[in-house]
């Protein structure tokens, strides 16, 4: 083993240790391969800075934590698990002797939750911080809070090759920043001349051809190929086998789902040239010696959370320019190298400069619960390095409330007349006792809630098995033929209650077959995944037992198990839309397809434990619902009575033009059942039809000009005769009257044939109605016995129009015994206006003598006085 002290990181050892002693906070910028991940913890140990406790090194991936611990243990000459160890979820090699402990970020966060003083820890080293994992962000923020309060002696070091030192320097101030230039060998970067067309060329075939070119022209050295996931890795490994230029090469896979011994074989040194096809676990921290060429697909599977739909997504996306540089750097670790990027140079300029931090794109439920347990109720104002999307934060709190993990606190002294809790006062939630118990289970809050329900229902062992079955890789092999499906059905039987139950039977089959690959393949079972279930099951049982849960084996009622699943995944409640397809509608206005491999194709109401968005060609995204469990509507009423509702909704049928009613049962916003044919409530039917009338889309035929004139006459009556205490018909009153008219109607035809006058005249009392007809009549009798119509404008006096002969002998016209004057429009015999006046006496005296000669000549047959 070469001397580690020759690594470039030792160039900054003095500055790093000085910074630790001066400020207790250090930012280390050092390139890939400089030795920072393995050597910085040993520097602290040798400098005597770990006298009070361990150096805890945080790694973003389990494989890196395990392999780095193994490497440091070798360099220290100790057995792994003694002075140097690692601890990841559901796996650890530590002891009372351990001085350097490599952990994944979630492990530290839980330790902070249950021990805010971090007893036994002297230093925290956040490695590869540029990846900005959610647990790392929270862990660093909590570390600073602890350092500023109870542990001023705590050392905090943040390291990466490509981190934003400016952002961290401001966040950590006061702190020391040290940089190592490293001693990287030159790496030649080459690009494709034309973009890869996914409809024509599969990325694994393109990568295999690139590997063949590299091996044919490059000096001896290993090749590292980056692919987004295990599926693409397997396809690439197969494609490499068809390249004649690579027949002398060893080919290995490397990803986090592999067994530890398989991972070790991939990074070991061999006499022959090897090709390692890896996910981004090989991008940072983990240095693979001997690599001189990198073939980069430029892709990675990126987890995201959609706060609008509450769905975690895992889509293949293009990596950032910073990640591409990290990958390229793997080729220049020990000698000059080359990096073949399977995209064009022009495409490279369009890539994002950095990855989006996880706090901006992941489910926040578990970390929010962790913060609540630490006494941080107002998570929105937590000192985030970069604050999360408020909608994502709200969604996490909503899920935790659904699970009973947090609750609104009562405000005894709140002054509002109706507010009884912080929910109504706009305050934060606090963790409940159930939430605290849930947090002790190293699983997602959903499964933690299921464990607590399982204690009540007496099925802890079953829920432990369900959790173990879902922690690792996909259990079923995909795309199996019909023969495998038939064999699976023959041996495991059919299933109508839960996909979990079928998984458990499959596991027992694999266990009895001693996890034989051939036996498992016959039923389409992933043997390695099945083999990993047993230790996980044992650990979950141990955790449950430590929390006081009864883990005794007993006969289990499937109904109670399914209720546990319902409690854990209530926001994933789904209803089949029809029996002919797998389409489902979920709460929160989502839709998806029940997975083809699910056994629950006959269930009408179910909860699903997995909701995945799978990216396809041409940007297509399919929402697939997996691990389904059938549930009963009665259970919703039993467990969530306040969220169940039954109502009748009405609407106008566009075909029949009649108001119809639909009776609906809902759980939150999910319609469980909808039936037509119920008699629509008369009030709602009237409102629907009235809205059409008011909008002008439906006309009451008898609502003519005379009706509108009467409404104006009522308004003038109310103004001129206030002692009658009548009220004008305003716009809002008109809507009320039309609504009353439509009461009892069921369709458009009914409304068109309405007689509006009975309702209109009810607006006035009999006394007011009689006074209206007397004081402000519709017509007035003229001298010749003719009844002339009176016009009532909205403003000004009433108006009548009369031929001049009808006015002979009339000196004055008025209404209400002279109280309301009339304006007279005097007409010639041809009905054309001669004069408009409100003083007839003056008209006869001054105007008539002047116009009479001309009128009498023009109309000699008419009487002229």
For 283-309, write each residue's pLDDT tens digit: 766 778 889 999 999 999 887 765 434
Average pLDDT in the 719-744 region? 94
pLDDT tens digits, one per residue of 734-768: 999 999 999 999 999 999 999 999 999 999 999 99
- Please answer whether residues 309 and 588 qualify as being in contact, where contact means their C-beta atoms are separated by less than 8 angstroms: yes
Task: List, as one string, the DSSP characters of 730-784.
Answer: -HHHHHHHHHHHHTT--BHHHHHT---HHHHHTTS-HHHHHHHHHHS-SEEE-TT
The pLDDT score that the predictor gives to residue 692 is: 95
Query: Residues 291, 337: contact at Cβ < 8 Å?
Result: yes
Q: SS3 string of 653-675? A: CCCCCEEEEEEEEEECCEEEEEE
Average pLDDT of the chain is 88
**542-594 pLDDT, tens digit each:** 888 878 899 998 888 999 999 999 999 998 999 999 888 999 999 888 889 99
Token look-up 């009975």 returns: 758
> Taking Cα atoms as reference points, which of 193, 221, 225 lies closest to residue 211?
225
Distance between CA atoms of residues 15 and 57, nearest Å? 20
First-to-last C-alpha distance (Å) of the chain: 137
pLDDT at 429 exceeding the cut of 90: no
pLDDT at 335 over 60: yes
Strands 337-341 and 187-191: what pairing? parallel
- For 857, the token pair is 């000549």
Determine contact, residues 339/327, Cβ cutoff 8 Å: yes
| Paired residues of 802 in beta bridges | 826
Average pLDDT over residues 153-175: 87
Task: Quote helix, strand, coil % in the chain, to nearest 5.
Answer: 40, 20, 35
Q: Which residue has the higher pLDDT, 496 or 260?
A: 496
pTM for this prediction: 0.63
Taking only the tens place, the pLDDT of each residue in 247-266 is 889 999 998 778 788 888 88
Residue whose token pair is 């996910």: 279
**Residues 6+ away with beta carbon under 8 Å from 145:** 383
What is the pLDDT, as a whole number, of residue 634? 96
Comparing CA positions, the residue from 438, 461, 468 lying closest to residue 545 is 461
């Amino acid at each position: 083993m070469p001397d580690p002290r020759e690594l470039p990181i030792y160039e900054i050892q003095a500055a790093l240790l000085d910074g630790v002693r001066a400020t207790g906070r250090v930012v280390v910028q050092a390139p890939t391969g400089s030795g920072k991940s393995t050597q910085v913890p040993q520097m602290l140990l040798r400098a005597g800075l770990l006298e009070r406790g361990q150096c805890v090194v945080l790694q973003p991936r389990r494989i890196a934590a395990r392999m780095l611990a193994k490497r440091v243990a070798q360099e220290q000459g100790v057995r792994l698990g003694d002075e140097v160890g690692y601890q990841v979820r559901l796996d650890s090699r530590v002891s009372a002797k351990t001085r350097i402990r490599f952990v994944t970020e979630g492990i530290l966060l839980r330790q902070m939750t249950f021990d805010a003083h971090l007893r036994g820890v002297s230093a925290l080293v956040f490695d590869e911080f540029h990846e900005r994992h959610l647990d790392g962000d929270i862990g660093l923020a909590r570390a600073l809070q602890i350092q500023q309060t109870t542990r001023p002696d705590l050392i905090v070091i943040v390291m990466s090759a490509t981190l934003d030192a400016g952002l961290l320097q401001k966040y950590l101030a006061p702190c020391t920043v040290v940089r190592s230039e490293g001693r990287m060998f030159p790496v030649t970067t080459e690009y494709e001349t034309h973009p890869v067309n996914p409809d024509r060329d599969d990325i694994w075939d393109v990568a295999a051809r690139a590997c063949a070119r590299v091996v044919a022209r490059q000096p001896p050295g290993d090749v590292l190929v980056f692919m987004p996931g295990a599926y693409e890795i397997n396809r690439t490994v197969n494609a490499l086998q068809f390249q004649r230029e690579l027949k002398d090469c060893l080919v290995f896979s490397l990803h986090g789902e592999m067994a530890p011994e398989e991972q070790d074989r991939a990074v070991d040194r061999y006499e022959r040239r090897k090709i390692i096809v890896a996910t981004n676990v090989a991008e940072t921290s983990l240095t693979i010696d001997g690599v001189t060429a990198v073939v980069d697909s430029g892709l990675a599977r990126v987890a995201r959370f959609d706060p609008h739909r509450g769905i975690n997504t895992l889509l293949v996306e293009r990596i950032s320019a910073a990640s591409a540089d990290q990958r390229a750097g793997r080729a220049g670790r020990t000698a000059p190298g080359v990096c073949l990027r399977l995209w064009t140079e022009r495409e490279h300029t369009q890539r994002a400069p950095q990855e989006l931090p996880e706090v901006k794109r992941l489910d926040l439920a578990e970390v929010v619960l962790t913060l609540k347990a630490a006494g941080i109720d107002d998570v929105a104002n937590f000192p985030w390095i970069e604050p999360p999307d408020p909608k994502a934060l709200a969604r996490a709190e909503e899920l935790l409330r659904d699970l009973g993990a947090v609750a609104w606190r009562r405000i005894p002294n709140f002054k509002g007349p109706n507010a009884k809790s912080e929910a109504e006062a706009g305050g934060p939630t606090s963790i409940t006792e159930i939430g605290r118990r849930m947090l002790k289970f190293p699983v997602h809050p959903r499964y933690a809630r299921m464990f607590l329900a399982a204690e009540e229902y007496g099925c802890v062992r079953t829920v432990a098995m369900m959790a173990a079955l879902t922690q690792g890789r996909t259990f079923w092999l995909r795309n199996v033929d019909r023969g495998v499906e038939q064999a699976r059905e023959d041996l495991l039987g059919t299933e109508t209650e839960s996909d979990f139950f079928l998984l458990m039977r499959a596991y027992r089959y694999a266990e009895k077959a001693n996890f034989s690959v051939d036996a498992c393949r016959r039923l389409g079972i992933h043997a390695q995944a099945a083999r990993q279930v047993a230790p996980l099951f044992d650990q979950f049982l141990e955790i449950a037992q430590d929390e006081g849960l009864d883990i005794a084996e007993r006969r289990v009622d499937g109904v109670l198990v399914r209720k546990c699943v319902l409690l854990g995944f209530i926001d994933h409640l789904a209803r089949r839309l029809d029996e002919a397809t797998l389409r489902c509608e979920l709460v929160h206005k989502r839709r998806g397809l029940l997975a083809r491999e699910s056994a629950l194709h006959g269930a009408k109401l179910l909860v699903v434990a997995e909701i995945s968005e799978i990216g396809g060609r041409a940007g297509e995204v399919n929402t697939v619902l997996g691990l389904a469990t059938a549930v009963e509507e009665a259970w919703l009423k039993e467990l969530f009575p306040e969220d169940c509702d039954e109502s009748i909704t009405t609407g106008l049928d566009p075909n029949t033009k009649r108001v119809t009613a639909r009776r609906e049962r809902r759980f939150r916003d999910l319609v469980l059942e909808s039936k037509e044919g119920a008699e629509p409530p008369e009030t709602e039917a009237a409102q629907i039809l009235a809205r059409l009338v008011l909008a002008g889309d439906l006309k009451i035929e008898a609502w003519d000009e005379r009706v509108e004139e009467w409404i104006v006459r009522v308004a003038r009556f109310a103004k001129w005769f206030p002692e009658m205490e009548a009220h004008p018909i305003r716009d809002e009153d008109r809507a009320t009257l039309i609504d009353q008219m439509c009461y009892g109607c069921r369709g458009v035809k009914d409304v068109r044939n309405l007689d509006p006058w009975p309702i209109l005249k009810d607006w006035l009392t009999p006394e007011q109605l009689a006074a209206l007809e007397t004081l402000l009549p519709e017509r007035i009798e003229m001298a010749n016995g003719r009844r002339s119509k009176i016009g009532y404008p909205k403003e000004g006096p009433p108006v009548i129009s009369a031929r001049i002969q009808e006015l002979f002998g009339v000196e004055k016209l008025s209404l209400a015994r002279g109280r309301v004057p009339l304006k007279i429009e005097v007409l010639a015999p041809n009905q054309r206006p001669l004069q408009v006046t409100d003083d007839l006496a003056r008209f006869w005296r001054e105007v008539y003598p002047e116009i009479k000669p001309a009128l009498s000549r023009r109309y000699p047959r008419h009487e002229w006085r």
